[in-house]
Structure 1
Amino acid sequence: MNSRILNVLEFDQVKQQLAPYLVTDQGKKTLTKLFPLTNPSKITQRLAETSDAQKIQRLRGGIPIPKLENIEPHLKRIQIGADLNGVEIAQITRVLSTTSEVTRFFAELAELDIELTRAYTFNEELVVLPELTKRFKQAIEDDGRVTDDASEELRQLRQQIRRNEKVIRETFDGLIRGNNTKYLSDAIVTIRNERYVIPVKQEYRGIFGGVVHDQSASGQTVFVEPKQIVSLNNKLRQSQLAEKNEILRILAELSAELVPYQKEIHHNAYILGQFDFMNAKAQYAKQLNATIPTVSEKNEVVFLSARHPLIDQTHVVPNDIVIGKEYQAIVITGPNTGGKTITLKTLGLLQLMGQAGLAIPVAEESQMGIFSQIFADIGDEQSIEQSLSTFSSHMTNIVSIIDQVDDRSLVLFDELGAGTDPQEGAALAISILDAIGAKNAYVMATTHYPELKVYGYNRAQTINASMEFDVDTLSPTYRLLIGVPGRSNAFEISKRLGLPTEIIDQAHQIMDGESQDLNEMIADLEERRKMAEIEYTQLRDEVKEADRLRKELADATAYFYAERDSQIDEAKKEANRIVKEAKEESDKLIRQLRKMQLEGKHQVIKEHQLIDAKTQMNQLQHDEVLQKNKVLKKAKAAKTLKVGDEVKVTSYGQRGELIKSLGNGQWQVQMGILKMTISEDDIEVLQQEKSPKQRVVHTVQSNQQAHVSPQLDLRGKRYEEALNEVDQYLDAAILANYPQVTIVHGKGTGALRQGIVNYLQNHRSVKSFGFAPNNQGGNGATIVVFK
């Protein structure tokens, strides 16, 4: 990507906004190397890293990366055999401990089955050095101080130092208190030349003996090391020198331990820097309310609700910018200060950000292209001074663009053809757009020339656009209108500002008819756009309401099926329990029968005893449940019993024949060789076999007393049975003089419906037939008209 476009579209300012979110030197170094890419696979990887970071940001607040310094110089020093100081080792220790913490962090994410595209791959490249990390954390504090635990020798030396300092303090306390206070300039203990001393007045310098190490600027005070302290200071100094040497030895030892792991530590620092950069991209995206666009292989750019990232997001006006699908060139016309140039820059900058792997401030379901080059010729559109040098500069840039452009290029022109004679400028602008279009490049251009409105209307793959202007408030709305060319609105603005009507009318007459027709066309287009926008808003609201109702219905259906399955499960459990109880009772009855047979000494059990046992088994069912069943009660009430009926006695499970009625709901029933009195509630009539080829036709007495229904319902019936009933029904309907009837067959698989259609086609009395209206069943019912 050419460097000029990065400056023109202010890509570096985006990087400056990203910088405050970085906490590692390696992350900042990665930012300096951030540029738009042209390789699709690498762009996809960069976007995936940003997407992972956004997901981690939402779920866990980001990857735990602390502030890390640049450790490359430290690793180079130990590579040549130098020893590191405490601060340098502490910085390397922070990298080691952060590596361990980040590895644990991603292990927890993996256990939670959180899907990530690229972050796990980066984490796998980290090399954890647990023993080395433990050793260094034990020996070095965060500020670089060597701890007492670094070695046993160092611990003992520091304990000795603390004891010496305590003795010195106690000795000094005896010297600076009491009568000796009058000899001191101040009753304090201080340090000179790394030895403890007291400030003594000049005239009493010999009172305490010892050594004078310094004096004040005025000469009135000398700093004396009393003779009682000299030997104590000597011991303390010796211990301090020994401590210093031990610290140097420990640092040298720790430096040597790092040598075998230089490459691993260096790579860990790099990976942590990448995680830091991912964190920063996620935080920046959150600030902008940005999203990850999908990548279009066909370079179809669809930026929905696109916002310029460098404008205050609370005031910027979002616009839908679409190019590459139905058209590859957009010509934006209209007056200045409407937002044309910002729209131009928004398209270019968002595309650069996307190709650099950053989230962009657009709505969900947006998509970006991949351009090998993005070119721009953008000047100060607010300037009213144009000179030959300015025109020449623009033209030189345009010539360079035309030489390099191809079908994978995006070209942005601001005020194309400006800076020269309007007629010549408009002609040049049209020719330049044609030349760019001949190379199948993608173009967005802004212009003031009205000739380009006609160009955008007539050229293939080209569309007009404009920035909306509110005539009522005399201010731009900064909304991009695709498909609507811009107009100056000069007459409307002048009229609202008070310019006399006669002057405006005269101006209308001066304008040629073609210009007036063009403005009228634009006004009509704007009116149609507003109407379409209103209809779209209403339709969108209706679709949202339909989606809400559909979701509610789906939830209710899911609840119904869940409840149904639950009830079935409960019923099965209850049935199993009843069967188990029945089996236990039946086993008990069988045991009793066997006992009776044994007691009777091989006597055969009589038939009435078996029937009684069978009755007891049948009575195991829950009669109270059956008594509450309204369907069964209704069925029993509907049955009629007569002498000679073949019946089944339900309590015995035996077939029999009705002999005679005994009254009070009792019947005498012949079962085999037995005659028994049975309640009619315990009797079930067995269905008689139907006579073959029996034809039942609805009774018709007269036209006025027809008992045939005008509608036949066949739902739930078998195919042959249904067609047979249709044949009988049509004969009865014709006899009843019905002009038409309705056959309800349902939708189902369509087999019955097709069978009825085939039958009606061959019926001699049918004049016509067809499916019922939607409010009467649709294709689930057929209306038949008779001749």
Structure 2
Amino acid sequence: MNQKVLQTLEFDKIINILTGYATTELGKLMCANLKPMTEEADILNAQDQTQDALTRIYKRGNVSFFGVSDLSPSLARLKMRGTLGTGELLDIARVLESVKNAVSYGVRMEEDLEADSLDELFESLVPLDDLLHEIRRCIISEEEISDDASSTLKHIRRAMKQTNQKIHTQLTTLVSSASNQDKLQDAIVTMRNGRYCIPVKQEYRSSFQGMIHDQSASGNTLFIEPMSVVTLNNELKELEGKEQSEIEHILSILSEQASYGVDDLAHNQKTLVLLDFIFAKAKYAKDIDASKPIFREDGIINIKQGCHPLLDRKKVVPINVSLGKDFSMLIVTGPNTGGKTVSLKTVGLLSLMGQAGLHIPAFQGSSLGIFREIFADIGDEQSIEQNLSTFSSHMTNIVSIVQQAHRDSLVLLDELCGGTDPIEGAALAISILSDLHGRGIKTMATTHYSELKMFALSTDDIENASCEFDVETLSPTYRLMIGIPGKSNAFAISRKLGLDEHIIKGAADQIDESVKDFETILADLEKSKQTIEKEQEEILEYRKEIETLRRNLKSRQDNIKEKRDKMLRDAREEAHNIISEAKEIADSTIREYNKLKKQNKNPDANKKMEHMRSDLRGRMTKLEGQMAYKSKKKNKKRHEANDFHVGDEVYVTSLSLAGTVSTLPNAKGDLYVQMGMMRSLVNIKDLEITKTAKDVKRENQRNESRNRGRTAINKSASIRPEINVMGMTVDEAIAQLDKYIDDACLANLAQITVVHGKGTGALRKGLHNYFKQLKKQKRISGYRDGEYGEGDLGVTVVIL
């Protein structure tokens, strides 16, 4: 891809923004060197990586690569069996800590069903935990080695401490002696040339036996090392030499251990930098609400609601652009400042971004072509004051484009052949576009020439487009309308601004009738399109309103049906009760008659009465069958008593109500069912099992898990791994931290960094007391001060 088009379309500004999203210096360098690719496999792989990183960010939050520095010089020395300094070993430790965090972040979760393009990168990282532990155990900071680095070092430092105490004891006794008060300049112990000395007045020099190491500028004070501590000072110097030798020995052992993993360290650094670069692309895509484009083999461009990424997203008007399907050349016309150049740059810049592996600020499903070259001639000067030198400069560029362009190129031309005689310029522009069109080169051009509008209308595979302009407000709408050429609106704008009508009429009289007719047709077309679009919007609103009315009507019908069923159920139940009562009365009456007949010893009468009773019962049972409520819902299956369990969801067919089993069935098959506020005894013959207790419990667990997952995703989409509480009081900081730690736990962060600054140390102390309470409550597993490169005592790292 030629370098000139990257600057013309401001791709370099996109790269500068992208660089700010990388954490490491090497990652920033990769961002700075990003260029559009031309091989389809490379482009698709880069787009997949960006998409997969973006998905991980939405699910788990950002991953930090803080502390990853360039280990190349140190690794080169390790290969030569050289010894590294404390700073270099700490750099290795920070890289290994980033490896550890990245490995933890890259672990696949249970809900991740499919592998992604980043799995291999995360899985290839080599932790080297033993080396990390040894470096952190031995080295406290770049200037300090731990006493526990070796037993020898610990012994040497203990001896140094004891010697120091002896020296200080003797010197303190010497300077605090009452007899020496007048002989000393100050009652203090000081250091000169690495030796402990006391400041003696010049005139009392002979009163103190020892070595003179220095004197004051005036010569009145001599710094003397008393003979009583010379031996101790010599011993201390000897111990310091042993200490330095032991430190060098410790560093050589650590360097030797690191040399065994030099290849793994080099691989880890390369992988972390690549991941930092990939996640920088994903974070940028998230911030501009970008989506992954589709790359078509036929090179068709179809941008849906695309926005220029360098413009304010709150103000920019999205455009829809298609090129390559129904036409291979698009000629955009319209007034100045109407958005023609922005539309041109948007198409070119989104193509460059897509081929560089970046997502584009457009709707999902937008497609781009893969171009070997993109050429652009876009000038900043867009006024009628263009001169010959400007025309010559543009023409030089156009000549180069025409010579180098081929079928796999995209050509963007702004104000083609402007700045010269309109007749010659239009003719030349038509000839250039004809040449590009004949060679099958996808081209998008802007112009003011009416001749190019006619050229597009009369030539197959070429389409007109225009940027809409509101004459009433004298302002562009920046909407790109494909299929309709734009009109200059010069007369309408002039009339709106107050130019006399006779002047406008005089100008109109000088225009050829065919041009007038053409402009009138354009105006009618534009007006018709606006009318159609307005009607379509109204139709859409009507559809929404009809859908709302339809839903309301259906809801009312359901309510009416429900009320009707309830009324019928109530009426049938009442009839059932009446029949039951009548039945009991009839049975009672017949039994009385039967007793009377038995008393009269009349067998014929008794038989007749029994026949009458049976007949009466049969007729009443038939009537009951006609009047009693019959549930429309019939049992699909006859259940046994052992089919029912407490908690099962059931349907009571006689009442048409759903409920939950409260007790197990008794010997008669009766059990209690809870139906809302009502608890009734129902026989199992009147029940259907709709859902078992196990199914209910499993569904509740799934809902709880899903809700927890949604909460964690929402938190992790925005939570940062650090919080700044500098300048706050302890109470204010704790109030902020309380909510932040909950969010961090939901986002599955392994640790967080609390930035509180050093200051007086009061805020740090108060927060540490707070963290102690959290540790007792088991809300956190531990905390520690920041280490070298993390912020030292100005930060506290909390392990969640």
Secondary structure, counterpart of 2:20 in structure 1 = helix
Amino acid at match of 2:134: R
Summarize the alignment of residues 523-538 of structure 1 with structure 2, pairs less than 5 Å apart: 523-538=523-538
Residue in 1 that maps onto 2:417: 417
Q: State the distance in 2 between where 1:232 and 1:468 align.
A: 92
Q: 2:117 is matched by which residue type in structure 1? A: R
Give per-residue Cα distances to partners, 1:5-25, cap 9 Å, x unaligned.
212212222111111222223
**2:302 aligns to what?**
302
Partner of 2:34: 34
Return closer, same or farther for 1:52/1:169 CA change in 2, 3 Å cut-off. Answer: farther
Specify the code of the residue in structure 2 equivalent to 1:328: S
Q: For residues 421-476 of structure 1, what are the alpha-carbon distances to aligned partners after superposition, in whole Å with 9 as ceiling and x for unaligned? A: 21111111111111111222211111121111112222222222222223233233
Matched to 1:192, the amino acid is R
Q: Could you list the per-position Cα deviations for residues 391-435 of structure 1 after superposition, in whole angstroms to 9, with x for gaps in the alignment?
A: 333333323322332322111111111233211111111111111
Question: Are the aligned partners of 1:665 and 1:680 in contact in 2 as well (CA < 8 Å)?
Answer: no
Match of 1:250 in 2: 250
TM-score, normalisation: structure 2: 0.67
Alignment of structure 1 residues 119-158 onto 2, 5 Å: 119-141=118-140, 143=142, 145-158=144-157
542 and 208 in structure 1: CA distance in 2 versus 1, 3 angstrom threshold: farther
Deviation at residue 206 of structure 1 after TM alignment: 5.1
Matches within 5 A, 1:753-768: none
Q: CA deviation at 1:87?
A: 0.4
Q: Retained in 1: the 8 A contact 2:579–2:624? A: no
Query: CA 1:235/1:347 → structure 2, altered by over 3 Å: closer, same or farther?
Result: same
Q: Report the residue type matching 1:157 in the other structure.
A: I
2:488 aligned partner, one-letter code: S
Summarize the Cα distance change of 1:77–1:510 in structure 2 as closer, same or farther, 3 Å threshold: same
Matches within 5 A, 1:565-576: none
Kept in 2: contact 1:661–1:667 (CA 8 A): no
**Rounded Cα–Cα distance in structure 1 between residues aligned with 2:175 and 2:383:** 81
- Residue by residue over 1:506-561, the C-alpha shift from the partner in whole angstroms, topping out at 9 and shown as x without a partner, is 222222222222222222222222223323434555666789999999999xxxxx
Q: Partner residue of 1:23?
A: 23
Letter paired with 1:147: S
Q: Matches of 1:453 and 1:350 in 2, distance apart?
A: 26
Distance, in Å, in 2 between the alignment partners of 1:440 and 1:536 is: 36
Give matches, 1:228-267, under 5 Å.
228-267=228-267
Is contact 1:665–1:679 with CA below 8 Å preserved after alignment?
A: no
> Does the CA contact (< 8 Å) of 2:579 and 2:620 recur in 1?
no
User: How many angstroms apart in 2 are the aligned matches of 1:554 and 1:195?
Assistant: 99
- Checking the alignment, whether the CA contact within 8 Å between 1:26 and 1:270 is kept in structure 2 is no
Q: Partner of 1:330 in structure 2?
A: 330
* Structure 1 residue 256, shift from structure 2 partner: 1.4
Cα distance 1:633–1:257, how it changes in 2: closer, same or farther (>3 A)?
same
In 2, Cα distance between equivalents of 1:662 and 1:479: 99
Q: Aligned partners of 1:435 and 1:531: how far apart in 2?
A: 37
- Separation (CA, whole Å) in 2 of partners of 1:185 and 1:531: 101
How far apart in 2 are the matches of 1:520 and 1:339? 23
Q: What is the one-letter code of the residue matched to 1:411? A: V
CA distance, structure 2, for counterparts of residue 249 and residue 551 of structure 1:
83
Q: Distance in 2 between matches of 1:183 and 1:665?
A: 146
Q: Match of 1:465?
A: 465
Q: Which residue of 1 aligns with 2:494?
A: 494
1:98-124 CA-partner distances (Å, limit 9, x unpaired): 2122112222x4344265521112112
Name the counterpart of 1:656: none
The superposition leaves residues 158-196 of structure 1 with CA deviations (integer Å, 9 ceiling, x where unpaired) of 233333334444444444546556555555544332333
Q: Any idea what SS the aligned residue of 1:304 has? A: strand
Map 1:312-391 → 2, pairs under 5 A: 312-382=312-382, 384-391=384-391
Query: In the alignment, what sits opposite 2:88?
Result: 88
SS of residue paired to 2:44: helix
When residues 224 and 313 of structure 1 are mapped into structure 2, their CA distance, relative to the original with a 3 A threshold, is farther
SS in 2 for 1:380: coil
Matched positions, count: 593
Q: Tell me the equivalent position of 2:513.
A: 513
In structure 2, what is the equivalent of residue 452 of structure 1?
A: 452
Which amino acid is 1:4 matched to? K
Whether the 8 Å CA contact 2:67–2:91 is kept in 1: the answer is: no
The 1-side partners of 2:392 and 2:377 are apart by 12
Contact map agreement 2:465 2:480 (CA 8 A) in 1:
yes
Q: What displacement does 1:221 show?
A: 4.4
Deviations along 1:315-352, one digit per CA (max 9) or x if unpaired, are 33322222222222111112322232222111111111
Kept in 2: contact 1:453–1:485 (CA 8 A): yes
Q: 2:68–2:98: 8 Å Cα contact kept in structure 1?
A: no
Asked if 2 retains the 8 angstrom alpha-carbon contact of 1:405 and 1:439, the reply is no
TM-score of the aligned structures, taking structure 1 as reference length? 0.68
Instruction: Indicate conservation of the 8 Å contact 2:96/2:127, yes or no.
Output: yes
Match of 1:615 in 2: none
Per-residue CA deviation, residues 28-73 of structure 1 (Å, 9 max, x unaligned), is 2322331111112211111111112212222222123223110011
Consecutive unaligned residues in structure 2, runs of 5 or more: 557-568, 582-604, 626-800
Residues 387 and 419 in structure 1, CA contact (< 8 A), matched pair in contact too: yes
Is the 8 Å Cα contact of residues 53 and 62 (structure 1) preserved in structure 2? no
**Greater alpha carbon shift after TM alignment, 337-346 vs 542-551:** 542-551
Retained in 1: the 8 A contact 2:320–2:480? yes
CA separation of 1:149 and 1:663: change in aligned 2, threshold 3 A = farther
Match of 1:79 in 2: 79
Task: Give the partner amino acid of 1:133.
Answer: L
CA contact (8 A) 1:37 1:355 kept: yes
Deviation at 1:381, TM superposition (A): 2.9
Secondary structure of the structure 2 residue equivalent to 1:321: strand
Gaps of 5+ in 1: 557-624, 638-658, 670-676, 687-787
Q: CA RMSD in A?
A: 3.8
CA distance in 1, matches of 2:102, 2:606: 94
Alpha-carbon distance, 1:270 to partner: 0.7
Whole-angstrom distance in 2 between the partners of 1:161 and 1:10: 64
Q: 1:474 to 1:248 in 2, by over 3 A?
A: same
Give the superposition deviation at 1:247: 1.0
Larger gyration radius, structure 1 or structure 2? 1
| 1:362-389 Cα shifts (integer Å, max 9, x gaps) | 2333222221211111222335554444
Q: Which amino acid aligns with 2:83?
A: D
- Residues 243 and 662 from structure 1, CA distance in 2 versus in 1: closer, same or farther, beyond 3 angstroms? farther
Match of 1:753 in 2: none
Query: Quick one: distance in 1 between partners of 2:314 and 2:62?
Result: 25
Q: 2 CA distance for matches of 1:252 and 1:554?
A: 83
Verify the 8 A CA contact 2:303 2:368 in the aligned structure 1.
yes
CA distance in 2, matches of 1:266, 1:551: 64
Are the counterparts in 2 of residues 666 and 680 from structure 1 also a CA contact under 8 Å?
no
Cα distance between partner residues in 1 of 2:580 and 2:62: 73
1:655-674 alignment, distance < 5 Å: 666-668=612-614
Relative to structure 1, the CA distance from residue 395 to residue 235 in structure 2 (aligned partners, 3 Å threshold; closer, same or farther) is same
1:57 match: 57
Change (3 A) 1:228 1:545: farther
* Separation in structure 1 between the aligned mates of residue 553 and residue 607 of structure 2, nearest angstrom: 56
